[in-house]
Structure formats: structure tokens, C-alpha cells
Amino acid sequence: MAIKTILVPIRGDGKGEGVLDHACALAARFGSHIQAIHARAQPEEYLPFGTLISAGMKETILQSAIANGEEEGKRFRELFNNYCTKNDLSILDNPPAPGNRVTASWREVVGKQATVIALRGRLTDLICVPKPDKETRLGVNTLESALLETGKLVLMAPALPAPHVGQHLAIAWSGSAESARAVSLAMPLLNTAKKVTVLEADTGEPVALAAAELVDHLRWHNIEPEVIGFKTSGNDVGGPLLDHASQAGADTLLMGAFGHNRHREFVLGGVTQHVIANARLPIIFAH
């Protein structure tokens, strides 16, 4: 099995080209199709909340929102077309793809981006999103929806160049169901990686499935990984994990995303949150 479709949300945050760069770097290995999608806000969202306005004013606001949305969509579509031309991507609206060539398509829908990705992400092989902004938290909802509501691999792209994605893939291994699921979903990436490194944190707590067990599993898939273990406390795994991935020379980190439900809101675990906030390399998550 290969990564044949990659979903990429595009919006006016200035990160679209960087996310597409990461998607293309991965797509080149599989001849994947990149599905760029722009979610346009509902016109009603521009109406003032809790304020009485006349019917005429309401209609004026709605018409202005519709016109602005259409203009924004045209601008993003033009930027997307220019990107495809510059990077020699064939625009293809319907399958099948010709040969093993990277192709791309554009779709515009009305709705909140996080909601759109939660739905559309269920029928793709991988979702590529920008790393959320640390100060404004812009992009957090989209990342969490992709992680927690689709069951798919999610590539988080930092605002840095992407010469390679997954050529040297490091696995954050804890023996958990989430980390095991990440390995299973990412097997096409692991099988085509030039190098695989397993990172195992020793927190002093017992591990149900040690890294040696994972190595045996990967060898059945003709993958010979290197194992790097490091000691740390249970409350300080994220930082050392990123440090050791960098020291190993990995270009991408694969890990399970931990989360739980609190007051009907999904809250990502501490290690996941630290990695999201501080990663300087692409991270591929699975939940």
C-alpha cells in the first residue's frame, strides 16, 4: 500500500506554500495526488453577535461577506495555480492519475476549516497541516480535528524548508497503542525510507512492549532500524525526544498522539503538546 492521496488545507495565513512544499516532498516518493482545499466561512458568521440590526443592514453585511469570500477564493486559486506551474505539478480533477506522477487538485467549500478537515480527511491517506502558531494558536483546531476525528496520518509542517520528508524517519516508541498504530499506518513510509531510527525513552517505568519487540516486527517487513535509548523523567519526554531525533539526523519524527476527553473537549497529552509547540522538523502523528 502507498500514500496516494494527501489532503492539504489552504487559507490566508501565509503558510500555504510551505505546507504544499512538505506535501510535495512526500508525494514525490509515491506519485501521490495532492488535494488542496480552501474552507470559506459562512456569510452568517460575519453578522454581529448579540446586536439588533435592521434587515437592510443584515442583507448588506451578508452580500459583502459573499463577495469578499468569492474574491478571496479566486486569489487563493490563482496562487495555487501559480504554485503548480512553478513546481511542474499536473492539475488533475478526477482519477486515475497518469503514471507515477505527482498531481494536484483544488476544491473550495463553505464551512469552518476544522469541521471540513474532520469530514474530508476521512477519505485520504494523509493530511498535511501547518504547525500551529505558538502565540495566536491559529491552526490548533484544524490540527486537532485532523488528529482526533479522521483516523489518518497527519503531517505537521513547520515553517521551514522541506528538502526531505521521511527519508530518515525516527519513531518515537513507547509501547503504547498509539505508537503502535503510528507504525502500522506509516508502514508505506517506513518501507521506502532510506533509514529508520527507533527512539525509546527510559523513564524508569515498565514498558509493555520494548523497542526490541518493535525491531523484530520491523525486520519482518525487511526494515533494519537503529535503536537509540535515552534516560529521562516521565514529565520530561518531549524535549529529549526532539533533541535525540535531531542528533540522530532524522528529517521527520513519527509518533502517536495522546489525547483524552475532558468536559467534551479533546485535550492532547503533554508530550504531544510539547512536540507540537517546539518541533523544528516535520512530525507525522497518528492517534
- Specify the residue for cell string 491517506: 125
Q: What residues pair up with 170 in beta bridges, in sequence order? A: 197, 253
Distance, CA of 222 to CA of 83 (rounded, Å): 37
Question: Could you tell me if residue 95 is inside a domain?
Answer: yes
Give the domain-ending residue among 157, 176, 200. Answer: 157
45 Cβ neighbours under 8 A, 6+ residues apart: 65
* Residue 262 pLDDT class (50, 70, 90 cuts): very low
Cis peptide before 98 (omega within 30 of 0): no
The pLDDT of residue 204 is above 90 = no
The reported pLDDT for the residue numbered 162 is 81
Q: Are 161 and 47 in contact (CB under 8 A)?
A: no
The enclosing domain of 143 has a CATH number of: 3.40.50.620
Q: Are residues 75 and 197 in the same domain?
A: no
Q: Are residues 71 and 39 in the same domain?
A: yes
Question: Could you tell me if residue 117 is inside a domain?
Answer: yes
Distance, CA of 47 to CA of 69 (rounded, Å): 14
Q: pTM score, two decimals?
A: 0.90
Question: Could you tell me if residue 140 is inside a domain?
Answer: yes
- Supply the Cα-derived Rg of the chain in whole angstroms: 20
Mean pLDDT across 163-190: 94
The reported pLDDT for the residue numbered 265 is 37
Q: Which three cell numbers stand for residue 278?
A: 517546539
Q: Are residues 104 and 81 in the same domain?
A: yes
Q: Are residues 17 and 148 in the same domain?
A: yes
Q: Are residues 85 and 134 in the same domain?
A: yes
The reported pLDDT for the residue numbered 270 is 81
Q: Are 255 and 171 in contact (CB under 8 A)?
A: yes
The reported pLDDT for the residue numbered 149 is 93
Mean pLDDT across 168-192: 95
Closest alpha carbon to 38 in 140, 117, 102: 117
Give the domain-ending residue among 157, 178, 200. Answer: 157
Q: Are residues 139 and 203 in the same domain?
A: no
Distance, CA of 36 to CA of 42 (rounded, Å): 19
Give the domain-ending residue among 111, 132, 157. Answer: 157
Mean pLDDT across 62-82: 83
Cα distances from 107 to residues 34, 52, 122, 125, in angstroms, run 11, 35, 16, 17
The reported pLDDT for the residue numbered 213 is 96
Q: Which of 64-68, 224-228, 260-264 has the lowest mean pLDDT?
A: 260-264
In terms of Cβ atoms closer than 10 Å to its own Cβ (0-12, 13-18, 19+), residue 237 is buried
The reported pLDDT for the residue numbered 88 is 92
Question: Could you tell me if residue 45 is inside a domain?
Answer: yes
Q: Are residues 223 and 177 in the same domain?
A: yes
The pLDDT of residue 234 is above 80 = no
Q: Are 77 and 50 in contact (CB under 8 A)?
A: no
* Residue 132 pLDDT class (50, 70, 90 cuts): very high
The reported pLDDT for the residue numbered 14 is 80
Which range of residues forms the domain containing residue 253? 168-286
What is the percent of the chain with per-residue pLDDT over 70, rounded to a whole number?
Answer: 92
Look at the chain and report how many structural domains it folds into: 2
Distance, CA of 10 to CA of 144 (rounded, Å): 16
Q: Which three cell numbers stand for residue 150?
A: 479522521
Distance, CA of 182 to CA of 198 (rounded, Å): 13
Q: Are residues 146 and 11 in the same domain?
A: yes
Mean pLDDT over each residue of the chain, to the nearest integer: 88
The reported pLDDT for the residue numbered 266 is 41
The reported pLDDT for the residue numbered 50 is 66
Mean pLDDT across 235-254: 94
Q: Are residues 203 and 275 in the same domain?
A: yes
Mean pLDDT across 102-115: 94
pLDDT per position as a tens digit, 15-45: 889 999 999 999 999 999 999 999 987 766 6
Question: Could you tell me if residue 162 is inside a domain?
Answer: no
